[in-house]
């Protein structure tokens, strides 16, 4: 039974390369899944983009004829799912170029959806409420996370409430225009805009809820409002 | 990525490295793993003394001595010395029953710790070979013969056996069974590379020359079986492993007892590694210097940092929950996310962890195959991975704290817990 006493450096080098190979495989697999996920997001965004474009076109074509069809085509749940997935990707995949591109694209879709839904809501009298929410990274805005939680909770309570979130640092002219219009400063975040009124700093659930009810006539929570929305012009 | 993540990646890399190192050795040397299932005869039977130190072992000592009497080895060549290290229970009464056997000698001395009991006996050994058997262990009847074949090689100075958990009765013991099975494989691979760093208390056999040349056992932070191996390695004395020499040992049956035992082991390892730090990365000490000792340190650090990461994530989670509660109160009814593959974590660390766990599982199954002749997956493996991930950080951290504060981990204390509980 011979034992090996000498220092066998070759063994150490070979094992190093094998281990390295295993790690590179892990990196590759992770990267593969990340890019698959980003492709999926791209797909969802393209679909939403087409849907918005289609709604816009339909709206222009039919003018005020068929409010029913148009309001049915709104994509609130898809938009919020996309929002969740993008937020997750940013946390778990990181701020890669692709993620940032998708986030810009998402901001643009939000603005388009906001404009279209506002028009539809006033034309067809659909019971909707709109909140524009401006935030930035946790390092620069300690209360943004809390504000986000408050808005998510409100959105669950009021399905008609449409929350559009914008990262202050988004490098996109359309978003910059929104910041200019509502005079949003990075020192006063989080900021919430309801019915053209700007509220800066953290807003509690109660404060926002009463503000929403007041301005948008969202009087009842889920059970009763559902009945109300089914009666359309 | 923050610093903690980097450290975790590096430690995971090194932990996988250790497993790959073993696996490469296994692939290369698997034909040399000798497992005999039949009775063998030796050309000659040299004299062997087995020392049984005991302290408060009235329940198990008789079984231990009987297993030695049942060894398939000429009675006139086998001497058994039972040393009662000042027991305060009925151990002495029990061992007196064995005085009638010609080849058994019994002694009682004042309590001084295991190494003093061993040294007490060492002075009386006249045979060319000697070994020790902890009083909570039992030997297989073929163990000694199989071990002695390794001494045909003149350079072999000590041979360690394969230690098996005796009749695991609960989850804690089951987890240790899986761990011990893996240790058999690891030990054999280290033996191939000349890098064994422990000659375990249960039935490691030495040439008497080892103690004649290098001196008796030392206190060695209550892990004298590690220290003697390191001292042998420092002097280039070959330590072998005999995978088919089976020794059955009773292992702690509760978390508290396991904690105390591991505290002593890890503390001992850290302190002995510190005492022998001159061996690290010295070419002349080969595998021990470049692999065994560093990999021990890596496993200690991995446990510490894994724990740090869990604590870090837990604190983040708590902070997030506090923010959530302060924002919307306790009764927020967040809609639970429906199943969507998208939200599956596919970060690199996940795949890297899968690689690490798979490599550990491979080692464990290879150990089991050496022992049982086949790959066998059982619940023990699951218990092992879960229990050790959860509680190992506590004994490792405590051992490190004690090691820096120079606070001894007591073998006696471990025994006392055992006695009181039994």
pLDDT tens-digit readout, B138-161: 999 999 999 999 999 999 999 999
The ipTM, to two decimals, is 0.87
For residue B349, the chain A residue with the least C-alpha distance is A26
Is A140 in the same domain as A120? Answer: no
pLDDT band at A188 (very low <50, low <70, confident <90, very high): confident
Choose from B279, B316, B330, B348 for mutation: most chain A CBs within 10 A. B348
Does any domain span residue B36?
yes
Q: Which of A138-147, B203-212, B253-262, B404-413 bottoms out in mean pLDDT, i.e. has the lowest?
A: B404-413
Q: Are the beta carbons of B213 and B402 closer than 8 angstroms?
A: no
Query: Vertex B279, ends B273 and B285: CA angle to 5°?
Result: 130
Greater confidence (B45 vs A144) lies with B45
Residue A224's pLDDT is: 41
- Domain's final residue, options A98, A126, A154: A126
* B231 domain-assigned: yes
Interatomic CA distance for residues B317 and B220, integer angstroms = 43
Q: Is A27:B348 a contact under the CB 8 Å cutoff?
A: yes
Contact between chains at A149 and B327 (C-beta distance less than 8 A):
yes
Q: pLDDT band at B334, cuts 50/70/90? A: low
pTM of the model: 0.85
What pLDDT, on the 0 to 100 scale, is given for residue B407? 62
User: What would the mean pLDDT of A5-10 be, rounded to a whole number?
Assistant: 75
Which chain B residue's Cα is nearest to A27? B348
- Beta-carbon pairs below 8 A across chains A and B: 108
CA distance B158 to chain A (A): 13
User: Does the pLDDT at position A221 exceed 50?
Assistant: no
What are B400's two structure tokens? 């490190």
Residue A59 in domain: yes
| Spatial contact of B166 and B248, defined as CB atoms under 8 Å apart | yes
Domains: count for chain A = 2
The yes-or-no verdict on residue B421 having pLDDT over 50 is: no
Residue A232: what pLDDT?
38
CB contact set of B287 (below 8 Å; sequence gap of 6+) = A4, A7, B190, B193, B194, B195
Q: Are B216 and B122 in contact (CB under 8 A)?
A: yes
Output the pLDDT for position B416.
47
d(CA A7, CA B148): 28
Same domain, A138 and A229: yes
CATH of the domain at B410: 3.90.550.10
Residues 6+ apart with CB under 8 A from A61: none
What's the mean pLDDT in B24-46? 93
Above 80 in pLDDT, residue B104?
yes
Say if B325 is an interface residue toward chain A (CB within 8 Å). no
Are A85 and A41 in contact by the 8 Å Cβ rule? The answer is: yes
Sheet holding A129-135, edge to edge: A161-167, A129-135, A191-194, A197-200
Range in A122-136, A205-219, B258-272 the model is least confident about = A205-219
Residue A105 belongs to domain spanning: 37-126
First to last CA, chain A: 92
Residue A230 sits in the same domain as residue A181: yes
The pLDDT tens digits for B279-320 are 999 999 999 999 999 999 999 999 888 888 888 889 988 988
Task: Please tell me the distance in Å from A59's CA to the nearest CA on chain B.
Answer: 33
Distance from C-alpha of B129 to C-alpha of B48, rounded to nearest angstrom:
5
CB-based contacts of B5, cutoff 8 Å, min separation 6: B309, B349
Residue A168 lies in a domain: yes
pLDDT of B121 strictly over 60: yes
Per-residue pLDDT tens digits for B187-239: 999 999 999 999 998 999 999 999 999 999 999 998 999 999 999 999 999 99
Q: Which residue has the tokens 């013969």?
A: B145
Task: Report the alpha-carbon distance of residue B132 to residue B92 in Å, rounded.
Answer: 18
What's the pLDDT at B418? 45
Structural domain contains residue A75: yes
| Whether B329 and A88 lie within 8 Å, measured CB to CB | no
Residue B55 has pLDDT above 50, yes or no: yes
Selected residue with higher pLDDT from A58 and B369: B369
Average pLDDT on B38-63 reads 94
Check if B24 contacts A (Cβ < 8 Å).
Answer: yes
Domain membership of residue B232 (yes or no) is: yes
Alpha-carbon distance A78 to A113, whole Å?
12
Are residues A133 and A228 both part of a single domain?
Answer: yes
Residue B335 counted as domain residue: no
> Residue A129 pairs with which residues in a beta bridge?
A161
Residue B331 lies in a domain: no
Q: Are residues A188 and A233 in the same domain?
A: yes
Distance from CA of A61 to the nearest CA of B (A): 37
CA distances from A65 to A39, A55, A119, A231 (A): 37, 13, 14, 17
Choose between B4 and B54: higher pLDDT: B54
Q: Going by C-beta distance under 8 Å and a sequence separation of 6 or more, which residues neighbour residue B284?
A: A7, B236
pLDDT tens-digit series, residues A100-136? 888 888 888 888 888 888 877 777 776 778 888 888 8
Say whether A37 and B346 touch across the interface (CB within 8 A).
yes
The answer to whether position A27 is within a domain reads no
Domain match, A121 and A44 both: yes
Examine the domain organization and report whether A47 and A89 are in the same domain: yes
Where does a domain end: A126, A141, A159? A126
**Chain A residue numbers touching B324 (CB-CB < 8 A):** 149
Section B119-143 average pLDDT: 95
Higher per-residue confidence, A115 vs A59: A115
Domain match, A89 and A168 both: no
Q: Which residues pair with B137 in a beta bridge?
A: B249
Rounded to an integer, what distance in angstroms lies between the CA atom of residue B181 and that of residue B367?
5
In a domain, A176, yes or no: yes
Residues A77 and A115 in one domain: yes
Inter-chain touch A150–B351, beta carbons under 8 Å = no
Judged by a CB distance cut-off of 8 A, whether residue B16 touches chain A is: yes
Distance CA A76, CA A78 (A): 6
What mean pLDDT is reported for chain A? 78
pLDDT of residue A146: 84
Determine the pLDDT at residue B394. Answer: 92
Q: Are residues A195 and A139 in the same domain?
A: yes
Check A150 against B236: CB less than 8 A apart. no
Best-predicted range by mean pLDDT (A60-64, A201-205, B54-58, B404-408):
B54-58
Q: How many domains does chain B have?
A: 1
b or e along A166-192 (b: 16 or more beta carbons within 10 Å of the residue's beta carbon)?
Answer: bbbebebeebeebbeebebeeeebbbb
B347 lies in some domain: yes
Is the pLDDT confidence value at B331 over 80?
A: no
Going by DSSP bridges, is the β-strand pair B129-132/B205-207 parallel, antiparallel, or unpaired?
Answer: antiparallel
Residues of A near B (Cβ–Cβ under 8 Å) read 1, 3-8, 11-12, 14-16, 18-19, 22-23, 25-27, 29-30, 33-34, 37, 40, 84-85, 88, 92, 145-147, 149-150, 152-153, 156, 204-205
Q: Is residue A4 part of a domain?
A: no
Domain assignment of residue B35, given as a range: 1-326+343-422
Structural domain contains residue B332? no
**Contacting residues of B for A35, CB less than 8 Å apart:** none
Whether A149 and A121 share a structural domain: no
Do A208 and A161 share a structural domain?
A: yes
Q: Is residue A74's pLDDT more than 60?
A: no
| 3-state secondary structure at position A5 | coil
Q: What is the pLDDT of residue A118?
A: 80
Which range of A62-71, A141-150, B118-127 scores highest in mean pLDDT? It is B118-127
What CATH number corresponds to the domain at position A149? 3.40.30.10
CB contact under 8 A, B238 and A146: no
CB-based contacts of A134: which residues, under 8 Å, 6+ apart? A165, A166, A168, A179, A182, A184, A189, A190, A191, A192, A193
Model confidence at A230: pLDDT above 80: no
Alpha-carbon distance B137 to B180, whole Å? 14
3 state DSSP class of A134: strand
Least confident of A108-112, B255-259, B356-360: A108-112
Question: In the prediction, which pLDDT does B422 show?
Answer: 32
In this prediction, residue B325 carries a pLDDT of 84
Q: Which one, of B192, B159, B186, B157, lies nearest residue B287 by Cα?
A: B192
Chosen domain end from A83, A108, A126: A126
Residue A12: inside a domain: no
Residue A65, pLDDT > 70, answer no
Q: Give yes or no for residue A2 having a pLDDT over 90.
A: no
Across chain B, mean pLDDT equals 90
Q: Is residue A25 part of a domain?
A: no
For residue B345, CA distances in Å to A24, A95, A141, B87, B350 come to 18, 16, 27, 56, 7
Cβ-defined contact of A147 to B332 (cutoff 8 Å): no
Residue A68 confidence class, pLDDT cut points 50, 70, 90: low
């Amino acid at each position: 039974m011979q034992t090996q006493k000498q220092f066998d450096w070759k063994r150490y080098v070979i094992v190093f390369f094998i281990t390295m190979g295993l790690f590179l495989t892990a990196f590759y697999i992770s990267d593969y899944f990340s890019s698959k996920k980003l492709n999926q997001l791209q797909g969802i965004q393209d679909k939403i983009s087409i849907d918005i474009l289609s709604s816009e076109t339909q709206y222009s074509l039919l003018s005020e004829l068929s409010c029913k069809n148009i309001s049915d085509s709104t994509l609130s749940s898809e938009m919020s799912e996309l929002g969740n997935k993008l937020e997750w990707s940013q946390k778990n995949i990181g701020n890669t170029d692709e993620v940032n591109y998708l986030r810009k694209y998402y901001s643009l879709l939000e603005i388009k959806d906001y404009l279209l839904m506002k028009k539809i809501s006033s034309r067809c009298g659909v019971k909707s409420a709109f909140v524009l929410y401006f935030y930035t990274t946790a390092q620069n805005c300690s209360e943004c996370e809390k504000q986000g939680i408050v808005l998510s909770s409100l959105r669950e309570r009021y399905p008609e409430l449409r929350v559009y979130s914008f990262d202050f640092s988004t490098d996109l002219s359309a978003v910059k225009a929104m910041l200019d219009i509502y005079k949003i400063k990075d020192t006063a975040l989080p900021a919430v805009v309801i019915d053209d009124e700007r509220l800066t700093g953290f807003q509690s659930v109660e404060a926002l809820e009463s503000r929403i009810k007041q301005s948008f006539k969202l009087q009842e929570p889920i059970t009763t409002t559902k009945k109300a929305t089914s009666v359309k012009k | 990525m923050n610093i903690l993540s980097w450290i975790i990646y590096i430690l995971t890399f090194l932990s996988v490295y250790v497993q790959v190192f073993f696996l490469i050795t296994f692939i290369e040397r698997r034909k040399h793993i000798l497992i005999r299932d039949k009775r063998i005869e030796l050309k000659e039977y040299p004299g062997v003394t087995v020392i049984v130190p005991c302290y408060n072992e009235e329940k198990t000592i008789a079984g231990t001595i009987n297993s030695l009497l049942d060894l398939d080895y000429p009675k006139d060549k086998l001497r058994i010395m039972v040393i009662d290290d000042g027991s305060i229970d009925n151990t002495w009464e029990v061992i007196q029953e064995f005085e009638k056997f010609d080849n058994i000698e019994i002694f009682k001395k004042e309590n001084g710790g295991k190494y003093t009991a061993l040294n007490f006996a060492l002075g009386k050994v006249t045979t060319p070979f000697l070994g020790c058997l902890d009083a909570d262990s039992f030997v297989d009847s073929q163990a000694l013969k199989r071990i002695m074949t390794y001494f045909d090689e003149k350079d072999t100075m000590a041979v360690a056996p394969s230690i098996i958990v005796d009749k695991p009765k609960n989850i804690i013991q089951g987890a240790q069974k899986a761990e011990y099975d893996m240790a058999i494989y690891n030990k054999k691979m280290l033996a191939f590379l000349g890098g064994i760093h422990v000659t375990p208390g249960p039935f490691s056999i030495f040439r008497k020359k080892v103690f004649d040349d290098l001196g008796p056992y030392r206190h060695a932070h209550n892990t004298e079986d590690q220290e003697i191996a390191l001292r042998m390695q420092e002097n280039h004395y070959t330590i072998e492993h005999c995978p088919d020499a089976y020794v059955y040992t009773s292992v702690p049956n509760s978390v508290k007892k396991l904690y105390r035992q591991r505290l002593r082991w890890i503390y001992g390892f850290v302190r002995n590694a510190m005492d022998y730090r001159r061996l690290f990365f010295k070419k002349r000490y080969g595998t021990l210097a470049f692999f065994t000792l560093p990999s021990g340190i890596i496993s200690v650090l991995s446990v510490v940092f894994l724990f740090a990461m869990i604590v870090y994530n837990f604190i983040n989670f708590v902070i997030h929950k506090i923010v959530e509660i302060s924002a919307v109160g306790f009764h927020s009814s967040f809609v639970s996310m429906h199943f969507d593959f998208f939200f599956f974590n596919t970060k690199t660390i996940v795949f890297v962890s899968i690689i690490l766990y798979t490599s550990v599982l491979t080692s464990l199954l290879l150990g089991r195959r050496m022992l049982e002749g086949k790959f066998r997956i059982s619940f023990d493996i699951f218990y092992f991975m879960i229990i050790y991930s959860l509680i190992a950080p506590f004994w490792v951290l405590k051992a490190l704290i004690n090691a820096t504060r120079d606070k001894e981990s007591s073998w006696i204390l471990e025994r006392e817990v055992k006695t009181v509980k039994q």
